[in-house]
Chain A
């Protein structure tokens, strides 16, 4: 009972979200975005007046030294956090005024994540980890699709293993399968190879690009690995919270 009432209330809130279909080609639109952290009276500006937009299907990277604001920017783009000023538009949804739970719905519908430390749920098996985003959507007949993804990342035999029983590379591959499971419109990868050795990194990256190409997903990679960044179509360079360069690859 309580659950149902609660759900209804949530749905009601959710329905109030506004759409702003300016350009169908743009999946991510960042306008004059700033982020400040207030701490004990003093405020720290982490991002300052950031502007860029990402067209559908693009593969871009955000680079910069530690503390340049990369992760903060990723958090804002993905709707994990709210900007102090400016506007974030994700797949035609303006995130600025949405509540945390409304943004959660947006994330579930459109966004996939790959984390530096994999963030697999330790109490779930590999297969269950892949199934979670689909389950969250309340979709039916999930298992075959999850198995299919597991097959794509080459870990069918690990379906019933728990994360602790997997190596780092295997964990990140499961995490890739999970990220693609809800066929997201946009995929955010936060230092996807940060915790992996060179050889494993290469395998994971290749798998990421392959899966991405196949699904036609927009991919935003945050990394300080310039080699990895160079393999994307466009590199946005951050320093001290401002964009110092936005380079398109010559052939694009």
Chain B
């Protein structure tokens, strides 16, 4: 009897696993790459966004001084008292000051007028960067006389040239040049409020700076030693606060700018991430089919003694490398794409954007790509371990039903954690991250549910007597291991994205145009002084214009709510809300900003048609000596303030403290184009406060509009006129620009959905081959086979488009009703058009991708297959 042999020392070297992974991929590489191509765009989007953020952050850091133009800015919205002015005049090493306000300018040669932002400047501001003008020397002329720099878009609008004159209030100015870029201003702001610079010393003569005018006062400082600023600020802070002045430093500006663009980057990277996830679902499903085809090979290897985990590792290695290849390709593409992103966003950018390759972004993108590709492939990969060697000797060996693989549950958990973690990295709030992840999960689940239902429904609804090709085409959707549901989700989600984008744009535009209907006001005159109100009315009547809405406006600030100041409330807030960390932050920010913000209130004795009391009692008039003053709040504003009927609020009406009690809450129909106010006082208290009036009217056409504007400007130079048609146009452009950014990001998801479709069709190629050969063998004609294939994709496209449309309609309806508070009535034609388009694309893509299969002769196919 011989010694028992050392049987179990077999150790497969790790290098062999790699070699096997390499060999096994040899015949499948192009196919494997197609799988990963669905993540390429997602990674590309992420890398583009990351690179963009990196570059933007760097540019903001580099150009922060240019953004502020000074080391310190102190500003406020009301006239500053003498002693404080004296103090302000001693700060810093160099000083400049500016008063800015909205006003009409009149182009004398072109006879046109337009509301602009006047900046009356004294001193050498900006200390950093410059006011960019054409000709460049024009900026020097500002200090030398009655010259003005006029925003280039306005210049173009009125076809004005340097040397022309504009009238501003009672004074004429010569246009020294085109204003190309004011410090810290980006394209979008310029479109909304074009800037005109003049010299501050001429401001009094224009007669525009009067009691009640809404002027923004700014003081700019340059410090030779910027390090002294924090100490200085600490010292003067109480004075500034008392005077209602704000301050901004280079550092705070840097922070604020970066913060607002961080939100943009977050949005963009989440959009990219959605595309990536969509691609990953595609990868996961394609790998499922791939592994299914590998069953026989895996079983054979198992017969020869390969251990279950080694088999798993072979495919894990393979998939990791393919994922890496996809991620690297995506990162490269993203690095190229980042050059497009600033192009799409240029109007929103505050700084000159400089492009650099960001290796951090590339690294992040590649890692994300590999991790996510592997994670989504793992559920299929794990089943490699469960492949029985019996598969090698039995063609259709049915695996005994085993309990759910715990490893799979762990993987699904990991996937969710990864999504959650990624969302957290973008949003830095767990609450938001959870909401995002759950929202995403719910959407996908809803999609799966809906697709499932649709499939069932069609199956039931399909008449039994229908032609064979139709039945066959439809039942092809049920091909074992088919990716029908996944495809419906991927294509459907893309459809939802496009459709929702389209609907929301429609809702927004509709909302705006709704308010500019035939009978609605289309011109607003504001800054009408109390003594001018009658005169303006008479003038309007002379032009046969209706006086549609005429209200007084009083500017004020919140001082105390229920006897508590802003600071006290912030503390109280944080004590109340410590439980939910994310919300607490938001709340604190909002309550402090509510106190900071200027409030425009009105007083009236009657409610307007757009207002409706929802709780409490409306008080129309009080006598000044009789307390309390019952005011009425917009119910949503009250909600944000956290107040209710009976609470008391102390207002600071430009220096006068006014005690009030909330008497009622109103619901306001904001859609109506009229002046609506969050806070309405009863008549009898504010009549003597500094105020201006607003008049709304409707001008029948452009000519009368221009004539009337000219007349108003001549008689009442301080009155500003807003042409709502112009505002609508600007809004339209803005919406167009925003939606082009969103479309840019959404296109990643859409194209990904399309690639997923191609890759899914390709991955079921072998199955299709077998079917078609079988059909041919039993005598199906080419035409019939083509029809069956087309019908299969027709059903797929129809269902995906239907699912996508249903969800887009539901989502847009919810957005319209709950978010924009308007009705939702989508137009039928574009819906149908999109529906048809999606279906067509699916059919065409499906047919083109199966072309090879459809064309190849059966014998060749059979041989390849064996």
Q: Which residues of A contact B308 (CB under 8 A)?
A: 100-101, 104
**Does A65 count as interface, using CB distance less than 8 angstroms?**
no
**Does A74 count as interface, using CB distance less than 8 angstroms?**
yes
**Does A108 count as interface, using CB distance less than 8 angstroms?**
yes
Q: Interface SS of chain B: helix, strand, loop or mixed?
A: helix
- Residue interface bits B391-415, CB-to-A below 8 A is 1, else 0: 0111100001000000000000000
In the bound assembly, the distance between CA atoms of A227 and B163 in angstroms comes to 112
In the bound assembly, the distance between CA atoms of A102 and B863 in angstroms comes to 37
Segment among B3-11, B143-151, B449-457 that sits at the interface with chain A: B3-11
In chain A, positions 100-150 with a C-beta closer than 8 Å to chain B are 100-102, 104-111, 113, 115-117, 119-124, 128, 132-133, 135-138
Segment among B21-29, B175-183, B218-226, B557-565 that sits at the interface with chain A: B21-29
Contact between chains at A123 and B27 (CB < 8 Å): yes
Q: Which residues of A contact B19 (CB under 8 A)?
A: 135
Segment among B188-196, B233-241, B296-304 that sits at the interface with chain A: B296-304
Contact between chains at A108 and B305 (CB < 8 Å): yes
**Does B307 count as interface, using CB distance less than 8 angstroms?**
yes
**Does B309 count as interface, using CB distance less than 8 angstroms?**
yes
Partner of B25, one of A100, A102, A121, A123: A123
Contact between chains at A71 and B400 (CB < 8 Å): no
In the bound assembly, the distance between CA atoms of A102 and B301 in angstroms comes to 14
Contact between chains at B10 and A108 (CB < 8 Å): yes
- Residue interface bits A170-206, CB-to-B below 8 A is 1, else 0: 0000000010001000000010000000000000000
Q: Which residues of B contact A3 (CB under 8 A)?
A: 14, 17, 313
In the bound assembly, the distance between CA atoms of A81 and B25 in angstroms comes to 29
Q: Which residues of A contact B297 (CB under 8 A)?
A: 119, 121-123
Contact between chains at B309 and A6 (CB < 8 Å): yes
Known: A123-B26, A123-B27, A190-B393. A11 touches B304 (CB 8 A): no
By size class, the interface of chain A is 35 or more
**Does B87 count as interface, using CB distance less than 8 angstroms?**
no
In chain A, positions 38-65 with a C-beta closer than 8 Å to chain B are 38
In the bound assembly, the distance between CA atoms of A71 and B305 in angstroms comes to 19
Partner of A7, one of B11, B24, B301, B390: B11
In the bound assembly, the distance between CA atoms of A105 and B313 in angstroms comes to 17
In the bound assembly, the distance between CA atoms of A162 and B26 in angstroms comes to 11
By size class, the interface of chain B is 35 or more
**Does A252 count as interface, using CB distance less than 8 angstroms?**
no
Contact between chains at A104 and B7 (CB < 8 Å): no
Q: Which residues of B contact A117 (CB under 8 A)?
A: 395
In chain B, positions 11-54 with a C-beta closer than 8 Å to chain A are 11-14, 16-17, 19-20, 23-28
Known: A75-B393, A138-B10, A138-B11. A123 touches B305 (CB 8 A): no
Partner of B390, one of A80, A108, A135: A80
Known: A17-B7, A105-B8, A105-B10. A81 touches B392 (CB 8 A): no
Min CB gap B371→A, angstroms: 16
Nearest A residue to B26 via CB reads: A123
Contact between chains at A113 and B304 (CB < 8 Å): yes
Min CB gap A107→B, angstroms: 4
Q: Which residues of B contact A136 (CB under 8 A)?
A: 10, 12, 16, 301, 304-306
**Does A215 count as interface, using CB distance less than 8 angstroms?**
no
**Does A226 count as interface, using CB distance less than 8 angstroms?**
no
Partner of A132, one of B8, B28, B304: B304
In the bound assembly, the distance between CA atoms of A110 and B304 in angstroms comes to 10
Partner of B8, one of A17, A122, A135: A17
Contact between chains at A115 and B392 (CB < 8 Å): yes
Contact between chains at B390 and A105 (CB < 8 Å): no
**Does A30 count as interface, using CB distance less than 8 angstroms?**
no
Min CB gap A220→B, angstroms: 13
Q: Which residues of A contact B1 (CB under 8 A)?
A: 21, 24
In the bound assembly, the distance between CA atoms of A6 and B864 in angstroms comes to 38
In the bound assembly, the distance between CA atoms of A105 and B5 in angstroms comes to 13
**Does B389 count as interface, using CB distance less than 8 angstroms?**
yes
Residues of A at under 8 Å CB distance from B?
3-4, 6-7, 10-11, 14-15, 17, 19, 21, 24, 37-38, 71, 74-75, 78, 80-81, 92-93, 100-102, 104-111, 113, 115-117, 119-124, 128, 132-133, 135-138, 162, 164, 168, 178, 182, 190
6 further interface pairs, Cβ-Cβ under 8 Å (given A80-B390, A81-B390): A14-B8, A17-B8, A71-B394, A105-B307, A113-B304, A136-B12
Residues of B at under 8 Å CB distance from A?
1-2, 4, 7-14, 16-17, 19-20, 23-28, 296-297, 299-309, 313, 388-390, 392-395, 400, 863-864, 866
Sampled A-B contacts (16; CB under 8 Å): A7-B11, A10-B307, A11-B9, A15-B8, A24-B1, A24-B2, A71-B394, A104-B307, A105-B7, A107-B304, A107-B305, A109-B7, A123-B26, A135-B12, A136-B16, A138-B13
